[in-house]
Structure 1
Amino acid sequence: MNNFYLMSIQYDGTNFSGWVKQTNKKTIQGELESAFSKNAKLPVKLLGASKTDAGVHALDQKVWIELDYTPNLTGLKNTLNKALPNQIFINSIINVDNNFKVRNVKEKTYIYRLRFEKYDVFRQYYTYFWNLPKFELSKLKEVLNLFVGTHDFLNFSGLKINEIDKISPIRTINDIQTNILDSELEIIFKAKGFIRYQIRTIMGCVFAYLNNKISLQVIKETLELKHPKLPYIADAKGLTLISIDY
C-alpha cells in the first residue's frame, strides 16, 4: 500500500535551472530525487506545487511525494537534509490523504525584492539592485494596480501562442502590495496561480515605466492585447516564493 506525504522545502535557486527536472542540468526536483535514490534506495514520485524558474528562490515550496513504504518522518527528513546540497532544505514532511492534490492551492504568495540607493554585496543573489535612487511610490502603485484582478496575461508571460490550448493565460491576481524597508522594496503578489515568467515580465515593464521608457497607456494596451508584447523581463534573483496555502 502506497503512502502519501507533503513536504515544505526552501531553496536558494541561484545555481539551479529551476524546479523541473531536466537532462544534464541541476534542478531542485532532480536533487530531491537523487537524495531519495541514494538514501532510501526505493522508488519515489515527486510533484511540486509551483514550477519556479531558474534563479528563483523559495521559502515554502510544497512537494507531494508517494512512497511504497512507511518511513519514520523525522528520520527521513534528517537523512534527506544531510544528502541535499546546502542550498536546499526540507522544512517539514507530513502525511496527507490519497486524494490530496498538491496543485489545487488556495493562494500562492511571491515577493519581488529590489534594492535602491545602496548596493549590498551580501544581498546580491536575493534582491535586484535598481539604480534609481528616487521614485514616486504613488506612481509605482498606479502601474501595479493595472494587473490586479482577472486578465489575459499572454503578453505578460513566457507562453507562446501554440501553448495556450493547454495552458490558459487567463489568471486572477488577488492582490499586489508594496512594502519599503530601509533601502529595500518588497512587492508582494498573491494569486491562486501564476504563469511562467508572469511576475518577472510584469516587473520588467514596471521598471521600464518608472524609468520613463514606456507609458502607462502602452502597458494598459499591452495587457488588453492591443499592443505587441514588450521586451522587458526582470532578473530572476529578485523573486522568491514565500508561501503556498491550501
Structure 2
Amino acid sequence: MKKNIKLTIEYDGTNYSGWQRQKHSITIQQKLEEAISSITGEYCEVIGSSRTDAGVHARGFVGNFITKSNVPPAKFKYAINSKLPKDIVIRSSEEVPLEFHSRFDSKGKKYIYTVLNREEPPTIQRNYVYHFSKKLDVNSMRQGSKFFIGAHEFDSFYKKSGSTVKSTLRTIYYCDVEAENDLIQFTVIGSGFLYNMVRIMVGTLIEVGIGKIEPRDIEKILLAKNREKAGKSLPPQGLCLHEVLY
C-alpha cells in the first residue's frame, strides 16, 4: 500500500549546488533520494517545497515522497539520517494524505538573510553570513523594508535568466530588519519568491543602509518594474529558508 511521507529537512547548503537534482553536480535532492532508496529498495522521488540555490541553507525545508515501504512513518527520520552526510538532517517524518504536495500545497515561506556588519571579515561564520564592512543604518533599512509588505509585481527584484515564471505578482506578509551587536537579520514571510528575489531585496536595503537611496525609494523601485533600478543580488551563504507554511 502506498504511503506519502512528509519530511522536514535541515541542511547546510555550502557543499551543494542547491536543492534540485542536476546531471553534473551534487545536490540535496540527490543525496536524499539515494538515502531513501537504500532503505526502501525502490526509487523514490523527493518533491521539494522550493528550489534553493547553491550555497543557500535551510532549517525547515519540506519534502515528500511516495513509498510502498513498511517502515513506520515516524521511523523514517532515523533510518534516513543514518544514511545522510552530516550536513543534511531529517528533523521529522510523518505520513500525510496521498494528495499532499510539498510545493503546490505551500501557503508561504519564511526566509532570513544575515549580514555581518563590522570591519573585520568573518572566520567561523563565513559560510552563513554576508560580510559588509561599512556601517549600516538599521533604522532606515527597517523603514525601507515596510514598503515590501503587500501584493506587488516584483519585476525589479528577480533575476530573469533561466526563469519561466508567468507572473511576478507576490504577496509579502511580513518584512523587518533587526540588529544584535554586529549581526543584522532581514526576515521576510511571503506567499512565494522569485529567483534571487530575497537576495536582491536585501541588496537594495543595503543601499538604503548606506544612504545611497532613501527608504521610500523602495516603493518607486517596485513601481518601476526594472531590474536595473534595484540593488545587487547578495551572495547565497547569508540566506536561510526557516519555515514553509501550510
TM-score between the two structures when normalised by the length of structure 1: 0.90
Cα 1:129–1:59 shift into 2, 3 Å: same
Alignment correspondent of 1:147? 148
Contact 1:156 / 1:201 at 8 angstroms: preserved in 2? yes
1:43 and 1:68 in contact (8 A); partners too: no
Matching residue of 1:122? 124
- Structure 2 match to 1:163: 164
Query: How far apart are residue 220 of structure 1 and its match?
Result: 3.5
Q: How many residues align?
A: 243
1:144 CA displacement: 1.3
Letter in 2 for 1:108: K
Distance of aligned partners of 1:227 and 1:58 in 2 relative to their CA distance in 1, 3 Å threshold: closer
In the alignment, residue 191 of structure 2 is paired with which amino acid?
K
Separation in 2, partners of 1:191, 1:65: 25
Q: Equivalents in 2 of 1:193, 1:162: separation in Å?
A: 14
| Contact kept in structure 1, 2:144 and 2:216, CA below 8 Å | no
SS of 1:122 mapped into structure 2: coil
Partner of 1:221: 220
CA distance in 1, matches of 2:200, 2:184: 17
Q: Secondary structure at 2:221's aligned position in 1?
A: helix
Q: Check conservation: 1:45, 1:67, Cα contact below 8 A.
A: no
Aligned identity (percent) is: 27
Q: Deviations over 1:33-63 (max 9, x none)?
A: 1112233321212111121111110001010
Say whether the 8 Å CA contact 1:3–1:70 is kept in structure 2.
Answer: no
Letter in 2 for 1:154: D
C-alpha distance in structure 1 between counterparts of 2:96 and 2:216, whole Å: 47
Given residue 183 of structure 2, which amino acid in structure 1 is its aligned partner? E
Contact 2:111–2:189 (Cα < 8 Å) also in 1: yes
**1:216 deviation in Å?**
5.1
Structure 1 residue runs of 5 or longer lacking an equivalent are none
Unaligned stretches of 5+ residues in structure 2: none
Cα distance in 2, alignment partners of residues 156 and 194 from structure 1 = 10
What TM-score do the two structures reach when normalised by structure 2? 0.90
Contact 2:148 2:218 in 1 (8 A): no
Contact 2:17 2:55 survives alignment (8 Å): yes
